[in-house]
Amino acid sequence: MVDVPGHGKVVVDIAYGGAFYAFVSAEKLGLDICSAKTRDLVDAASTVTEAVKAQFKINHPDSEDLAFLYGTILTDGKDAYTKEPTTNICVFADEQVDRSPTGSGVTARIALQYHKGLLELNQIRAFKSSTTGSVFTGKAVRELL
């Protein structure tokens, strides 16, 4: 639970896939991932990023250099498995927007969905960028202990 200025308390997931990202449904911030203006999505994601950074310390098990939040990925909230792509926008670093669904972000989102029991091993999931419509696919291939 993160206190996000202008939005109140919001449940945010944090996952790692080469970088740490905060994940939240755009709807929880009053936005539609597919129809909202990119600037509005960027502003909302940046507010979440700053709130998480102020309220949580991120730890990486092997490297302190990787122990930071790289950005926020706003989603369409469709985390349960379906053959249809789930849509997101990745806002990272200094309010930069990835044209793609984001490789490390997709990896983190797959790990998160697998951890929540929403995706099985070797089940292929598609992820679409809200800005360009480009699609990445991925799957969880093994569980690390």
3-state secondary structure 46-87: HHHHHHHHHHCCCCCCCCHHHCCEEEEEEECCCCCCCCCCEE
Domains of the chain: 2-139 (3.10.310.10)
Tokens of 64: 């302190």
User: What parts of the chain have a pLDDT lower than 50?
Assistant: none
pLDDT for res 143: 79
Q: What is the pLDDT of residues 31-67, one digit of tens each?
A: 999 999 999 999 999 999 999 999 999 999 999 999 9
pLDDT for res 142: 86
pLDDT for res 31: 97
pLDDT for res 145: 64
